[in-house]
Amino acid sequence: MSFVPGQPVTAVVEKIQIQKLRQGPNLILGFSIGGGIDQDPVQNPFSEDKCDKGIYVTRITPKGPADVAGLRMGDKIMQVNGWDMTMVTHDRARKRLTKKKEDVVRLLVTRKSLQDAVSKSKGHCHADDDKEENSTTSQWKEQQHRPPYGEDKASY
């Protein structure tokens, strides 16, 4: 997924909520990140676009809080607790994730499989186009003979 800095980003996202694990004074999330606007995007093994300076999940601790919540290696983090993560430094991303006051981290992430699923759902064969168009046309014609909204006396 690529984007132009300063322009709106359209992405298919998944909400993931991670309950931090308390180990003494530390709160553990169970994952590592890479990327940021201050990092070299060519080094990012998860992005097809080698100009993408997003924040990516680079490691997941098996059976840790992030793993249990459904976070996956290679996920791109779009938001952390409502904060935009598309144009932040690596250090700013780390600080947003590791705030001591927050026991829960709410993420919006995107991943290639989400983007692919949407792309596939939009694609269909051309032979079905005619059937769909004819069906839509006949439904429209049927609707022309129905009373306008609010005048139908039937109960639903």
pLDDT by residue (tens digit) across 76-130? 999 999 999 999 999 999 999 998 888 999 999 998 765 665 556 666 444 444 4
23: its two tokens: 């180990």
Q: Cα separation of 73 and 70, whole Å?
A: 10
Taken as a whole, the chain contains a residue count of 156
Biggest alpha carbon distance in the chain?
A: 71
SS3 140: helix
Give backbone dihedrals phi and psi of 18, rounded to 5 degrees, phi first: -115, 125
Of 2, 55, 52, 50, whose CA–CA distance to 32 is shortest?
55
The yes-or-no verdict on residue 155 having pLDDT over 50 is no
Give the pLDDT confidence score for residue 50 in this predicted structure.
82
Mean pLDDT (whole number) for 56-64: 95
Band of pLDDT at residue 48, cut at 50, 70 and 90? confident
Give the pLDDT confidence score for residue 90 in this predicted structure.
95
Give the pLDDT confidence score for residue 19 in this predicted structure.
97
Tokens 């064969």 sit at which residue? Answer: 125
Q: Are 57 and 72 in contact (CB under 8 A)?
A: yes
Q: Cα separation of 27 and 104, whole Å?
A: 10
Least confident of 24-38, 43-57, 135-149: 135-149
The overall average pLDDT reported for the chain is 76
The yes-or-no verdict on residue 7 having pLDDT over 90 is no
